[in-house]
Structures are given as C-alpha cells and as structure tokens.
Amino acid sequence: MYRLGYDAKRLFNNFTGLGNYSRTLLRDLAAYHPDNAYFLYTPSVTRNHETQFFLNSPLFSVQEPASGRSFFWRSSGVKRDLRRHRIQLYHGLSHEIPVGIHKTGIPSVVTMHDLIFYHYPNQYAWADRQIYDFKFRYACRHANHIVATSEATKRDIIHFYGIAPEKITVIYQSVHERFIQERSQKTIDAVLARYKLPSNYLLFVGSLIERKNLMGVVEALALLPQADRLPLVVVGQGEAYKKKVVDFAGRHGLLPLLHFIKPEFEDFPALYQQADVFLYPSYYEGFGIPILEALFSEAPVITSNTSSLPEAAGPDAWLVDPRRPEEIAAGIQTILRDEELRKRMIANGYAHATRFRGDGLAAQMMELYEKFLG
C-alpha cells in the first residue's frame, strides 16, 4: 500500500475542466487501485453532488489547513502535513507543487494541462500571466516528473520551458463513467422537457470566452441554408462574450435558434446523446474533454485542426480551421445530410474514445508513480 498525496483544491472547488480532471482521475485510481491511501489536501471544501464521493469514501482522507495557517498553506506550509502523514509521493493535479517540496525527500509529479497564456496572452491580465509563468515554470523544473495531458502540451513544455522530453509523460484524461452509460429515451425526453429543448439540435459545451469560439458556430449558422439551421443548445457561462454572440445572432435573425442552459451534471449525458452534432471549434485546448464526452455519447464531432484537439477527437471527427466559419457550416451540412457518414463517424468515434477509459489510464498513472516509489 502506498500513501499518496494530492493537491485537491480544484477537486473540491472547480466544477469545469481542472476540477473534472482531478475528480475523474482520483475516482479511477480508487476504483482500480483501492489498496492505496489517498490524501486530498485542499484549502477549502465545497460540498455538493460532485464532491460527496470523496468526502464519504474511506479510501480518501481529506485534509484542510489548521486555523490560521491557510494563506500560504497550499503553496508551502502543506509540506509539514505531508511529512506528518508519511506521504510517499505528492501529485500536483493542476500546474503547481509546493515550493521547496524537492528538499523534503518526497518525490513529486505535476500535471500540466496547457500553456495557453503563452499562445493567447491578450486574454489574460499581465499580473496573471506573471503568476502563471512563475508557478508553472517552477513546477516543471522542480517536480520529479511531469504528466502532460496531450502531445501538444508536451511540445509546449519543451518549447517554452526547455524541459527534457524524457521528463514528460503524456497520460490522457479519462471520462466520467456517467458518459459511458446509455440513457433511455424516456430519460432523454425528461431532460429535454426540463430545459424546454427541441428533439433535434446542435450542441456546444464550453466557457463563453473568445478562445472557445462560440461566435464561429453562430456565424456558421448564418451561412447555412434555412433547412439546415437546427437550434443550437449552449452550455457554458461568460456574460461579456455571450452578449457579443447574442448581438450578432439578433442582427442575423438567429436569436430564436439559441438555447442557453445551465444543466445539472447528471443531465449532461442525455444532452450529448440526443445531439445531432457536437461542435467544439476552439482555437486552442490542452486536451478537450467535452470531445470525449460526445464521442462516448455517440454524437458526431466537429472540432478544430489545432493544438491537442485532433488527438482527442481521433481520425473520424470533422476537423476545421476555427477561423473559417464556412468550414464549420460545411461540416454541419454534410453530417446532417449524409447518414452513412454520420453512422461511420459515430461508430469510429466511439471506438477511438475507448482508448481513454479509466482503467487503462489509471494503470498508466500508477506505473509512473511506481518509478519513484521504489
């Protein structure tokens, strides 16, 4: 049995990408390697449906800072607790490790999801870029090993930080088991009714920011013939960018087609499984987990030909230049009209997605740990 420590701030307090990565990885490790003791270190805990498993399971020991120690605890003070709990390996799940952990004798691994702020600096405040650069660079240089969530991220780490390739292992993200379980039509219909959605629609899931490129999808709708303009269901938040999209849609008579919703986590699989096409034409991603959620849900995928997205989507997705809405429109139109193509994309996409099941990826992670656990 190993005593393993994790930075669990995002696990307990972030309910999008980084938090989903943390929760899914720890679920998989506990399911397939239950002999270990998993210590989760977090400055605070949000209690909800997504976190209750970790709070209730005897496999996890949730650790918070003592009163008065919270300010620098996660970035440095936690080392005292790691020694007290006899932690044998520490894993920073989101770009960071405690300063000075390499001096404790406790080996560390850090997961690097992306270096997007290098590619799109104008989308980040100057101070944020400096903080990210310091934390990310420090983690890459001082961790015993780096896990990159894609080959694209590995290339960025080598390019921007000069890290030796042999110090980096690509271990992809897995998908929460809820997306692998087929929902009945009765369940799907109930979800559609709950959010007042039509039975045929296009689906977009992602933060409403420029990089995710919802505007490109709406511009593609404007280019489509009337017969191919299905409603667009949008799952994501970001008011400033949403207003830009809504203004454009209003000027082009598309506003009745847009459905902005905030679904419960358990309703996501039904939304994916009913979608005619899943759209994810992001400009840049460290991985792109919604693509796998769609593939497991047997929805055909249109995504970008940039960064890590072809890795996640596989050879049978429809790849586009995200700067060209006409390519997005052509993909929508072709998939809706060519039933044989649609069936092939669904079948081959699902087969590709099975590479990202939790058992295999958890085994890869444990194999990496064991290199430093002796």
Going from the C-alpha of 349 to that of each of 65, 190, 299, 337, the distances in angstroms are 44, 26, 8, 18
One digit per residue, the tens of pLDDT, for the chain of length 374 reads: 999 999 999 999 988 888 989 999 999 999 999 999 999 999 999 999 889 999 999 999 999 998 766 678 989 999 999 999 999 999 999 999 999 999 999 999 999 999 999 999 988 999 999 999 999 999 999 999 999 999 999 999 999 999 999 999 999 999 887 888 778 899 999 999 999 999 999 999 999 999 999 999 999 999 999 989 999 999 999 999 999 999 999 999 999 999 999 999 899 999 999 999 999 999 999 888 999 999 999 999 999 999 999 999 999 999 999 999 999 999 999 999 999 999 999 999 999 999 898 999 999 999 999 999 97
The residues, any chain, with a CB within 8 Å of residue 134's CB and separated by 6 or more, are: none
108-112/145-148 β-pairing: parallel
Task: Give SS3 for 180.
Answer: coil
CA 194 to chain CA mean position, Å: 26
Minimal CA–CA distance to 25: which of 299, 359, 336, 285?
Answer: 359
Q: What is the rounded CA–CA span in Å between residue 292 and residue 20?
A: 13
pTM of the model: 0.89
Burial class (CB in 10 A: 0-12, 13-18, 19+), 103: exposed
Minimal CA–CA distance to 91: which of 374, 367, 365, 371?
Answer: 365
CATH code, 177-356: 3.40.50.2000
First-residue to last-residue Cα distance in the chain: 12
CATH code, 3-174+357-373: 3.40.50.2000
**Over the range 219-239, which residues count as b (16 or more CB within 10 Å of their CB) and which as e?**
bbbebbeeebbbbbbbbbebe
Which residue, chain included where needed, has tokens 């429109």?
Answer: 329
Which residue, chain included where needed, has tokens 């970035």?
Answer: 75
Q: Do domains 3-174+357-373 and 177-356 have the same CATH topology?
A: yes
Q: Where exactly are the structural domains of the chain?
A: 3-174+357-373, 177-356
